[in-house]
Amino acid sequence: MLRRTAFPSASGYASRPDGSPKMARMTAFQVEAVEDPRGLRLKGELDLASIPDVDSPLRALVEEGGDITLDVSELRFMDSSAMQLMIRALQGLDGRGRVILDHPVATVRRLIEVMGLDRFENLEIRE
């Protein structure tokens, strides 16, 4: 049985100190905790604005150790800040588990290759 815990995105309207509204983030991002396999489901675009939404849940999984599956089948885009987050997770596991990327789309797969993340022995990519 799949049990999900939703972590709402930080995107949306907010107020500036002067009370005027900020622009809403143009992209949507969603992260859900998944118990079987243990990990996170990432949907949308993972960029600098959405890093805070995934940082805490991913950091907690890394601290526990063991394999972490990231279902990225619905992740359309990752920027360099997302790559840095992945590198920190891979290094943080330090022999205590793997990061398993489940079904990355072509653009995400290409970025992983260009950025050299496939050099990490504890990264597994499942097509």
Name every residue whose Cβ is closer than 8 Å to that of residue 32 and which is 6 or more positions away in sequence.
4, 5, 6, 7, 40, 41, 43
Domain residues for 66?
45-127
Query: Would you say residue 82 lies in a domain?
Result: yes
Query: Would you say residue 100 lies in a domain?
Result: yes
What are 92-102's pLDDT values in tens digits?
A: 999 999 999 99
Residue 73's CATH number: 3.30.750.24
**Whole-number pLDDT of residue 35:** 96
Query: Would you say residue 30 lies in a domain?
Result: no
Rounded Cα distance between 94 and 111, Å, is: 23
pTM above 0.85, yes or no: no
For 15, which DSSP code?
B
Number of domains composing the chain: 1
Query: Would you say residue 8 lies in a domain?
Result: no
What are 22-66's pLDDT values in tens digits?
A: 444 455 899 999 999 999 999 999 999 999 999 999 999 999 999
- Phi/psi for 78 (5° steps) reads -135, 140
Query: Would you say residue 111 lies in a domain?
Result: yes
